Structure 1
Amino acid sequence: MAQEATTQAPPPPTTKKSPWILAGRREVEGEVDEGEVEKKEDKPAPPPKLPFFSLFKYADATDKLLFLGGILFSVVAGGLSPFLFLVFGNLLGAFGLIYTDPNAFDSELRKYILFFVYLGLGSFVLNYIGTLCWRLTGERQSLRIRTGFLESVLRQDVAWFDERRAGDLASRLSTDTSLIQSGISEKVGLALLYLSSFLASFVVAYTQGWKMALVVTAAVPALGIVLASTQTDYAEAGALATEVLGSIRTVFAFGGQKREGDAYEKLLVDSQGIRRKKIFSTGIGFGTVNLMIYAFIALALWYGATLLVKGEYQGQNVMIIFFTLLVGSFSIGNLGPYATSFASAQGAAYEVYSIIDRNQLRQHPRFAKEIEFRNVKFNYASRPDVQVLNGLNLKIPYGKTVALVGSSGSGKSTIMQMLQRFYDPVEGSVLIDGVDLKDANVRSFRSQLGVVSQEPVLFRYSVKENIRFGKAANAYDFIKELPEGFDNDVGERGSLLSGGQKQRVAIARAIIRNPPILLLDEATSALDSQSEQIVQDALEKASVGRTTIVIAHRLSTIKDADLIVVLEKGEVAEMGTHNELLAKKGRYHELVSRQELKKNEKEEDADIERDTTPTPLEKAAVVGLSTSTELVNVAVTDGKEKTPVVEKEKVNFKNLLRLIGYNSQQWYFLAISATAATGLGLAFPLYSLFFGKLIAAFFDPNVSSLQDQINTWCLVFLVIGIVGFLATFTQIVFIGLYGTKVFVKIRVMAMRNILRQEIGFFDEGKNSSSNLSETLGRDVETLEVLMDQTVAQAWSSIVNAIAGTIIGLYYSWKLTLVALALLPVPTLGIALETQAKFGSNSKLQVYFDRATFIANEAIFNIRTVISLGLEDFFIQKFKDELAAPYKISIRAAFVASFGPAFSQCAQFFTYAVSYWYGGTLVKSNDTSFQSMNIVIQSVFFMSLAIGQVGALAPSITKALLAANKVFALVDRVTLMDTTVGKKVEAPEITGDVSLSKVKFSYPTRSEVQVLKGVDMDVKPGMTIGLVGASGCGKSTIISLVMRFYDPTTGTLSFGTGSEAFDAKTRQLESIRSFMAIVSQEPVLFARTLAENIRYGNENATQADVIQAAKDANIYDFISTLPDAFETFAGERGTQLSGGQKQRLAIARALVRNPKFLLLDEATSALDTESESVVQDALDKASVGRTTLIVAHRLSTIQNADCIYVFKKGRVAEKGTHQELLQKKGIYFALVEQQSLAANS
């Protein structure tokens, strides 16, 4: 299977629009999706499941011993339950001796009380060991499954990932493995316990009296039907939230906040219909169960009384049969939720285990150092009509530097991907020293590659850790200025570093591996000229003795290559050195001519004065690799993992009232539900009252009147059942309908408020897209459970406890007080279990979040992980993060297992003390036999109610803590509200923009000043170039003009003269509506190409979209695709090359027809030919509008009206291209470094 996976290109992307895209967005008129219609007509096949016993396939010998122990102790523990009622029935029968033989009664009472104690001790031992065995094996196996899953995923080939969404794999690791753990741990023990209890109950019942047992058994199947409540599926809305929050700058830049908020709300509103159906079905299901319980009681007691009157049974026989069958039917009913858990685990395991077991073919010979492409043909399955490589023949000699140039889509990056064996040829072979790469050991081969890609991926660790993956190239200078130096966090996907800084860390990462083969895909595209020159020198030195393959659009970086290969339409068009190809005056000569800078001829021979003196590391980088490695090794040694610090959050019960208030206009729904819950709470006390009287009647020596009484009592139980059905249905339905509106509203409020926040909010680690999505998803779902189920159950239990206490005190205050004093004993066990399970939860969650983040980062950036050979690193990191929670969970299992065992034991002891004291009171005539039974039954159900409240306490706490997070998002006041202030009208935006004495620091690094007093004055229609070293503040200027941030001091103003206004005083949304931005790393959405372009202007027609595509030189490419503009772009545009993504982003900007055009390295990913065409388009688009351009490739800004040269946060020089050349300063030096003049 693995071999097949590597020989196939990725599948075609679906062209169907995602459901959240369809919500609230304009569609192309006349569009009909026939495939979608066909899908609706076909009923989906049930999801495949793994056989139950296969869930335990990863158990080792220790686990199997734990299985045996767990099975044995759980089965025996379950078998004890009916014996409680065997003792109970005989004890009740003994009370008849009080009046005939008091001494015999004392003896019998002591005997049965001791039986209770023995049963209690046995129950404790059995339950404790059984539960502990299942918990231990569950923790052990789940750890093995989680690590095994990630190991298998990270060892698959890239083509395998093309067929799967990274988010699905990440979800399987977090959600599905939890479902599997739930299905292989203590729930198995509980299911065995209930099954054993069911069987033992029937054995005891039939031995006591087969006639009554047989009749009552007929009703058991109906009583055992328990309909599980279901959970609303917000997957589509959650997917939309994840995508939007992960692309927040793009959403803000194009004013998409309202659109995305509306689409999110529409998806939630649309889901309400499904939720209402589930609410009604749940209400009917649980109401029916309530009715069946009381119908069962009525039938059993009526028939038992009939047999008693006939003299066939005694009272104790009827009670034993009744209670054991009742317990047995509840036991089989309790199996329902566990069956659901096992089914969920089987379904989850089918996918997870198949991935763990997936064959990974890794048997290959050792790699040498010569590369050949022999008649290679290749096309991506997503674009089968487009031949990317068309019979490519190319030899790359050992130890040489070979450059690949050509237009976008000519096959350059595909060659790089084939060398990394992300894909295999459709035809032909890639040979390493004569051996087919298909037969090479993928892992050992990749370990000898150093790769720097066009869009570098950094992982959310410190700079030190990122460089450890590879280590240093001209990075030391900016690293030492960071607040924590090498220990500085780089942010999510490197968001806290500039593009150039990210690129340099990525280069460092590649060089330090000292690889035999170096693959540089636009490795210096994000660097300024000076840094580029220094790094280029370092790369050239590093290339000695190794084979280096370079892709570069900036031809100055490859003019010294040993061999330059010009590709066209997947074939070699030209080959030779820089001078040889210039002499041919062919394709390469044409590309060079387009990039040649206009220079003042008189200055060509002038010496270049360097602006700065290289740092020691820069010198080391130029001298050679070994020194820089040494220096960085010194810099990155040390560093221990910090144990996460968990802040204890406070529970705020006011949040519950606040939740309720979100739908106050339907207060009567809440009132009806509360009334119904009160009725449910009164049901058990009333049952206790009548049942206590009924027990006395069954043991009354005068049985003649029993038949008349039993008819009345059975009718009463049926009425309680009918009322219970109506109350259950009413309570569930009305609170469910009330909550539906509440949680749609709170999700929408939270989402809209998130979209109102300033960019600085998203820079903070705690506000990453994954954390925010989780709050909108899982945390709100926790609140739903609180309102829909937990609060109502808690209120019913409280009513039950109060009513039970009143009844008990009325009939025997002495016995009631003793019984009440015993109530804390069973609840102590619940408290111990709760403390053990949830007390460590906050710690566990921090570790699990960190482990999940590590796994997600590896999965979402799998190409970088594979390229750098970091599979083992991430697997070990993942294991390390899981080690601590595993130890905590193992310790917690020993304590948590004590809780339920103690609770079971305590129930036996409570019965023992209650009946001992009750018998004493009856014997001394302080109370009657009937009153004793009423009190004990009332207190018994009261203890169940209090136990239920105790069991609900963790859920309530968890939900209220979740409410803190949700309301924190709802309540946060943005520092930059986009809707506040006077709107800017079109005449006010003249195209003027100025910065006066602007100083700025990013909120997350306030101690580092990025801009140090910048003054800029831009007039309407001007094209402004911003150049300078990486990290000098160029992109920050763009961010300030977009008002992603406000200056720390100084002002940003728009307009001219007396009409000028401070940007802070006007509505931000209206200011941004006149701007469009194309960023260095364009973010595309998982939508169609047309929708991505139209994102720049939601009112754009199809003709506008087509024109924008033509202007951005992307139209011809789109036209070749089978679905043209309706082609799906993939997650973050993964179905497109870097150049294609960039041109689509340019089209998105142009369709906006902005007054201000902001280009942050807008053409950095384009080849020379495409760049020339797009540059012409941008030049034309710049007419009549103000354009700010950040560029390292100086040819793109040489015609600018004014060029600002930045150095360390200040404007060092400004002027036109010619003026700056004449100054012979920093800009002059940068131009010289990019000269393409042939070597003399």
Structure 2
Amino acid sequence: MSNFKKIFPFIFPYKRYAFLNIFFNILYALFSTLSFMALIPMIQVLFDKTKKNTVMPTYEGIAHIKEYAEDYLSYYITTNTDTHNPGYVLSIMVAIIISIFLLKNLADYLAMFFITFLRNGVLRDMRNAMYKKTLELPLSFYSEKRKGDVISRISADVNEVQTSFLAILELIVKEPLTIVFTIIAMLIISAKLTLFVFIFIPVSGYIISLIGKQLKKQSSKAQEEQGTFLSTIEETIGGLKVVKGYNAENYFNRLFQSSTDRFFTLSNTIGNRQNLASPASEFMGITVIAILLWYGGQMVLIDKTLDGAAFIAYMGLAYNILTPAKAISKASYGVKRGNAAAERVLEVLDQENIIVSKENAVEKFTFDNNITIQNINFKYEEENVLKDFSLEIKKGQTVALVGQSGSGKSTIANLLTRFYDVNEGSISIDGINIKDMNLHSLRSLMGLVTQDSILFNDTIKANISLGKLDATDDEIIEALKIANAYEFVKDLPKGIYTNIGDSGNKLSGGQKQRLSIARAVLKNPPIMILDEATSALDTESEKFVQVALENMMQNRTSIVIAHRLSTIQKADVIVVMQKGKIVEQGTHDELIAKNGTYNKLVTMQSFES
């Protein structure tokens, strides 16, 4: 139930629907009981077993309510039978029963009507909260979790919480109240027979509870397995070129099928346990009813301590307990499944986001002097990627970071943008530690162009205007021109309103990269970070992109992480990195003259080209 308490804040905004649901469930339980109680006088009239009473009874208090109700009913039937005829009285009784059943079903519909708003509202709000949280969580979270698993939690697990876990709202009101009201009515009819029933109910409940054990654990495994095969789908579709290019279809097919086979086995086990709940509870209920027929039959036929009509109504009430008992046993298994799903949802919602703005963080919207990286150490897992790294980048400078793969170049970009936080040391902008700055204002100072052109399945305009959502068409076209991209965009069927497909796959690599540059240009930040922006391009595309980059870097502070050294020869400062440390820095000419690591890298690339 602790998980239900954590889910409760999502229910609170819809509390009026919850109260209306409870109100109509109370009415449903009441009318459900009365519908069987109303059978007693009808059967008595039908078989002419009504006690003759021509004297109007007097009310003597709640303690004698049963006797008063019986006497008044017999008085009403006796007087009306004498005045009219038995058929008239029977018609009245039938009309009352139909009215009670109508009110019972109307209350049931209205209870379900209002709970629908609550359940769907919780589903929507929880999905929104999950998506918001996935946007807020640091990149380090996704290096540990499969993307497909996160998708599974937002879609399948949240839905499971809505369908199964929120069944507890029905569980704690409608069904228990139906049982309570029914048992009260049964006690009124025959306390002796009802006490006899109470001996068997706990035994039935215990046998049913045994079936539900292990269900939560197996449900949790099934939901994890669902995350696994969703990850396989996401990775396969994302890397379809590699899958097909390496004839690896059979390998991934086997991988996916083994996951769905495990899910199949778990789902069968869970489903069969759940399916056993209803027949098991019904069988137990029928067993109790069979014993009641034997014991109650003796009270009617032999002991003469119970009226026949009352006994028939009593049996109806006893059967009336079966439906809610079945619903409770079924819902309790649903709650176990929902509890497992809620744990997975809450694991994400409760995840601490370590990269957030401090309270009263500094809002900074201009870059005036310099970026200072001072004695930083950083590691993703065990080993340090950057070791005692220090660097100053002055306003207006183009600083290039070069070195072999794994030397820590891209890590600098991740730390500057606070995708990750340094373990030791500090990064400051104009003397303000970036940890003390408002995260939104920090990132508004920076434009980022990555090696992988990250584009979305939308129009060119929507993709470019991410950094400035209110940009006009003219501003977007100007940004495209600076990025050397308008040449191909103007020839597209719908220009900037052309949809570029999933991940921009309708375009070439060079075209995608130029759109990424246009996006950064439109944002117009004072600091530009280019993370190997040309390394994935062919020579011709690289020339177009390089012109676009040079256009963009004018009058800006630029940090260029480069693999191809030919693209950074005009940089003001070239920083050569090796195993997380700076081994050389200076201009291109100065470093060539040193005849050190940089010269070796240039020579190797010249030889390769």
TM-score, with length taken from structure 1: 0.41
Structure 2 distance, partners of 1:425, 1:238, is 33
Q: 1:70 maps to what in 2?
A: 21
Matched, 1:52 2:44: no
* Letter of the 2:563 counterpart: H
Alpha-carbon distance, 1:76 to partner: 2.2
Matched, 1:292 2:302: no
Structure 2 distance, partners of 1:81, 1:535, is 75
Alpha-carbon distance, 1:65 to partner: 2.5
Match runs of 1:860-871 below 5 Å = none
Alpha-carbon distance, 1:191 to partner: 5.1
Structure 2 distance, partners of 1:152, 1:401, is 36
Alpha-carbon distance, 1:414 to partner: 0.9
Q: Which residue, 589, 593, 604 being the options, matches 1:594?
A: 604
Structure 1 distance, partners of 2:259, 2:170, is 40
Gaps of 5+ in 2: 53-80, 468-478
Alpha-carbon distance, 1:94 to partner: 1.6
Structure 2 distance, partners of 1:67, 1:440, is 43
- SS where residue 458 of structure 1 aligns? coil
**1:332-384 deviation digits (Å, cap 9, x = unpaired):** 22112222333444443344346446565323213453211111122221xx2
Matched, 1:136 2:133: no
Q: Which residue, 361, 365, 381 being the options, matches 2:362?
A: 365
Structure 2 distance, partners of 1:183, 1:270, is 22
Structure 2 distance, partners of 1:426, 1:207, is 73
Distance 1:223 1:326, change over 3 A: farther
Structure 2 distance, partners of 1:519, 1:543, is 10
Match runs of 1:917-932 below 5 Å = none
Match runs of 1:741-756 below 5 Å = none
Q: 2:188 maps to what in 1?
A: 207
Matched, 1:403 2:384: no
Structure 2 distance, partners of 1:267, 1:139, is 30
Structure 2 distance, partners of 1:194, 1:204, is 15
- Calculate the aligned-residue CA RMSD, in Å: 3.1
Q: 1:312 maps to what in 2?
A: 305
Structure 1 distance, partners of 2:417, 2:507, is 27
Q: 1:884 maps to what in 2?
A: none
Q: 2:40 maps to what in 1?
A: 89
Q: 1:249 maps to what in 2?
A: 241
Alpha-carbon distance, 1:274 to partner: 6.0
Distance 1:146 1:285, change over 3 A: closer
Distance 1:150 1:575, change over 3 A: same
Is the Cα contact below 8 Å between 1:460 and 1:491 reproduced in 2?
yes
Matched, 1:157 2:150: no
Is the Cα contact below 8 Å between 1:452 and 1:519 reproduced in 2?
yes
Distance 1:507 1:156, change over 3 A: same
* Letter of the 1:181 counterpart: Q
Structure 2 distance, partners of 1:439, 1:422, is 15
Distance 1:377 1:242, change over 3 A: closer
Q: 1:453 maps to what in 2?
A: 450
- SS where residue 523 of structure 2 aligns? coil
Equivalenced residues, count: 547
Alpha-carbon distance, 1:59 to partner: 4.2
* Letter of the 1:97 counterpart: D
Matched, 1:196 2:163: no
Q: Which residue, 559, 566, 571 being the options, matches 2:576?
A: 566
Is the Cα contact below 8 Å between 2:131 and 2:154 reproduced in 1?
yes
Alpha-carbon distance, 1:409 to partner: 1.3
Is the Cα contact below 8 Å between 1:70 and 1:129 reproduced in 2?
yes
Alpha-carbon distance, 1:313 to partner: 0.6
Q: Which residue, 521, 524, 528 being the options, matches 1:511?
A: 521
Structure 2 distance, partners of 1:582, 1:238, is 51
Structure 2 distance, partners of 1:264, 1:346, is 27
**1:514-544 deviation digits (Å, cap 9, x = unpaired):** 0111000111234454554444334333323
Match runs of 1:955-970 below 5 Å = none
Alpha-carbon distance, 1:415 to partner: 0.8
Q: Which residue, 550, 557, 561 being the options, matches 2:567?
A: 557
Is the Cα contact below 8 Å between 2:571 and 2:588 reproduced in 1?
yes
- SS where residue 321 of structure 1 aligns? helix
Is the Cα contact below 8 Å between 1:217 and 1:325 reproduced in 2?
no
Alpha-carbon distance, 1:55 to partner: 2.4
**1:1122-1170 deviation digits (Å, cap 9, x = unpaired):** xxxxxxxxxxxxxxxxxxxxxxxxxxxxxxxxxxxxxxxxxxxxxxxxx
Distance 1:211 1:66, change over 3 A: same
Q: Which residue, 424, 438, 442 being the options, matches 1:427?
A: 424
Alpha-carbon distance, 1:131 to partner: 2.4
**1:435-492 deviation digits (Å, cap 9, x = unpaired):** 2222222222112211111122111112221122255312222223334433333232
Alpha-carbon distance, 1:157 to partner: 2.3
Q: 1:1047 maps to what in 2?
A: none
Q: 2:389 maps to what in 1?
A: 392
Matched, 1:336 2:329: yes
Is the Cα contact below 8 Å between 2:484 and 2:547 reproduced in 1?
no
Is the Cα contact below 8 Å between 2:278 and 2:329 reproduced in 1?
no
Query: Going by fraction, where is helix more abundant, 1 or 2?
Result: 2
**1:827-882 deviation digits (Å, cap 9, x = unpaired):** xxxxxxxxxxxxxxxxxxxxxxxxxxxxxxxxxxxxxxxxxxxxxxxxxxxxxxxx
- SS where residue 469 of structure 1 aligns? helix
Question: Which has the higher relative contact order, 1 or 2, with Cα contacts under 8 A spaced 6 or more apart?
Answer: 1
Q: Which residue, 211, 215, 220 being the options, matches 2:201?
A: 220
Distance 1:341 1:152, change over 3 A: same
Is the Cα contact below 8 Å between 1:78 and 1:192 reproduced in 2?
no
* Letter of the 1:342 counterpart: V
Structure 2 distance, partners of 1:198, 1:445, is 61
Q: 2:500 maps to what in 1?
A: 490
Match runs of 1:1013-1052 below 5 Å = none
Alpha-carbon distance, 1:572 to partner: 1.6
* Letter of the 1:74 counterpart: N
Distance 1:509 1:136, change over 3 A: same
Matched, 1:522 2:532: yes
Distance 1:581 1:263, change over 3 A: closer
Structure 1 distance, partners of 2:603, 2:491, is 39
Distance 1:596 1:163, change over 3 A: closer
Is the Cα contact below 8 Å between 1:451 and 1:510 reproduced in 2?
yes
Q: 2:439 maps to what in 1?
A: 442
Match runs of 1:845-856 below 5 Å = none
Q: 1:377 maps to what in 2?
A: 377
Structure 1 distance, partners of 2:179, 2:32, is 9
Distance 1:423 1:264, change over 3 A: closer
Distance 1:282 1:136, change over 3 A: closer
**1:911-970 deviation digits (Å, cap 9, x = unpaired):** xxxxxxxxxxxxxxxxxxxxxxxxxxxxxxxxxxxxxxxxxxxxxxxxxxxxxxxxxxxx
Q: 1:114 maps to what in 2?
A: 95
Is the Cα contact below 8 Å between 1:402 and 1:549 reproduced in 2?
yes
Distance 1:285 1:124, change over 3 A: closer
Is the Cα contact below 8 Å between 1:137 and 1:185 reproduced in 2?
no
Is the Cα contact below 8 Å between 1:131 and 1:186 reproduced in 2?
no
Alpha-carbon distance, 1:105 to partner: 2.2
Distance 1:583 1:358, change over 3 A: same
Q: 1:323 maps to what in 2?
A: 316
Is the Cα contact below 8 Å between 2:400 and 2:568 reproduced in 1?
yes
**1:493-526 deviation digits (Å, cap 9, x = unpaired):** 2332222222111111111100111000111234
- SS where residue 57 of structure 1 aligns? helix
Structure 2 distance, partners of 1:478, 1:496, is 12
Structure 2 distance, partners of 1:329, 1:287, is 11
TM-score, with length taken from structure 2: 0.81
**1:1001-1037 deviation digits (Å, cap 9, x = unpaired):** xxxxxxxxxxxxxxxxxxxxxxxxxxxxxxxxxxxxx
Structure 1 distance, partners of 2:102, 2:160, is 33
- SS where residue 413 of structure 2 aligns? helix
Gaps of 5+ in 1: 1-48, 598-1171, 1173-1194, 1196-1240
* Letter of the 1:328 counterpart: I
Q: 1:126 maps to what in 2?
A: 107
